[in-house]
Amino acid sequence: MKSALFTGAAVTLGLLMASVGSAQASSIHQPTTQARQHGITLAGGGYMGWTNTKTSSTAATPAVLAPAATVEGIDVASYQGNVDWAGQWNAGKRFAYTKATEGNYYTNPYFAQQYNGSYNVGMIRGAYHFATPNDSSGANQATYFLAHGGGWSKDGKTLPGALDIEYNPYGATCYGLSAASMVSWIRDFANTYKATTGRDVPIYTNLDWWSRCTGNSSAFNSTNPLWVAKYASSPGTLPGGWPFHTIWQYSSTPIDQDRFNGDYSRLQALANG
């Protein structure tokens, strides 16, 4: 995900620790600098969990497997290039999300290999969109996403497209939007996606960003599945009053690691709608 430019002394260390951990608290104040440290130098470079990866040896500690029924998966973007899908399958991964688009200006050049490759090896797969709410409307970006790999089909192997909404690696943390405007933007995206596919888009976010930028809105917690980012031994406090998470991104080592909150039959049910 992205790092953000926080201004003023009002941002407390405790709030920073709630989302990214104390090991990163000193670097999170410089989003543009941190984005470059993560290899994000051009528009289109945002990816899930980017604030937690690659700059610190303590950034990601793999979590212990939970005793409840879960399914392991990964998420990928252009940074992973051509993925060894057979290797990921043999490592126990059964689902994958691939970055398809960002804003209304970028498509992942490795999308076909990643999206189709995961499907061909037997995984349940989905696409995600990296939101840049300052660039265009939610409806515009949802339409762009749908036109470039973000669609859904009821084939039992395709998950609904996901909205990655988080820290802005290119500027102001909340993209210059008020909390009310951000909620409206997300609703615009979600409604446009559902009008075309019939599916409620899963929302990927984290407690800190969601609290800052939506006022910890509860507007989506009864409709849109939560994909929570928390690099720790448990998902912790969930944002927005969601009663449970659907997917948990818990590590970036050696690739972004995700865990579906349920058994394989429930993952299939999410794919089938």
What is residue 54's predicted lDDT score, i.e. its pLDDT?
Answer: 38
Here the tokens at position 194 are 């559902």
Is 223 inside any structural domain?
yes
Domain CATH code at residue 30? 3.20.20.80
Q: Is residue 131 included in any domain, yes or no?
A: yes
pLDDT digits (tens, 9 = 90+) for 114-136: 999 999 999 999 999 999 999 99
Asked if 200 is an active-site residue, the reply is no
List beta partners, residue 128. Answer: 99, 162
Average of per-residue pLDDT values in the chain: 85
Query: Which of 16-20, 85-89, 255-259 is predicted least confidently?
Result: 16-20
Asked whether residue 6 is assigned to any structural domain, the reply reads: no
CB-based burial of residue 180 (10 Å sphere; 0-12 exposed, 13-18 middle, 19+ buried)?
exposed
State the SS3 of the chain: CCCCECCCCCCCHHHHHHHHCHHHCCCCCCHHHHHHHCCCCCCCCCCCCHHHCCCCCCCCCCCCCCCCCCEEEEEECHHHCCCCHHHHHHCCCCEEEEEEEECCCEECCCHHHHHHHHHHCCCEEEEEEECCCCCCCHHHHHHHHHHCCCCCCCCCCECCCEEECCCCCCCECCCCCCHHHHHHHHHHHHHHHHHHHCCCCCEEECHHHHHHHHCCCCCCCCCCCEEEECCCCCCCCCHHHCCCCCEEEEECCCCCEEEECCCHHHHHHHHHC
In the chain the first and final C-alpha atoms are separated, in Å, by: 27
d(CA 79, CA 101): 14
State how far the Cα of 23 lies from the Cα of 21, in Å rounded to an integer.
5
Residue 72 exposed, middle or buried by CB count within 10 Å (0-12, 13-18, 19+)? middle
pLDDT in tens, 209-235: 999 999 999 999 999 999 999 999 999
Structural domains counted in the chain: 1
Task: Kindly name the residue from 75, 102, 208, 258 that is annotated as catalytic.
Answer: 75
Percent of the chain with pLDDT over 70: 78
102 catalytically annotated: no
Tokens of 188: 């615009």
The alpha carbon torsion through 214, 167, 188, 212 (nearest 10 deg) reads: 0
In a domain, 119, yes or no: yes
Catalytic-role residue among 166, 208, 256, 258: 166
pLDDT score for 48: 78
- Residue 4 within a domain: no
Is 244 within the bounds of a domain?
yes
Residue 62: is its pLDDT beyond 80? Answer: no
Average pLDDT over residues 40-66: 55
Catalytic residue among 102, 135, 155, 164: 164
pLDDT band for position 25 (50/70/90)?
very low
167 assigned to some structural domain = yes
How many other C-beta atoms can be found within 10 angstroms of the C-beta atom of residue 90? 10
pLDDT at position 233, please? 95
Q: Write out the two tokens for 105.
A: 């200006």
Q: Is residue 7 part of a domain?
A: no
Q: What are phi and psi of 158, to 5 degrees?
A: -125, 120
Q: Which structural domain, as residue segments, surrounds residue 46?
A: 13-272
Is residue 72 flagged as an active site residue? Answer: no
pLDDT band at 191 (very low <50, low <70, confident <90, very high): very high
**Contact status, residue 27 vs residue 36, Cβ threshold 8 Å:** no
Considering the entire predicted model, what is its pTM? 0.80
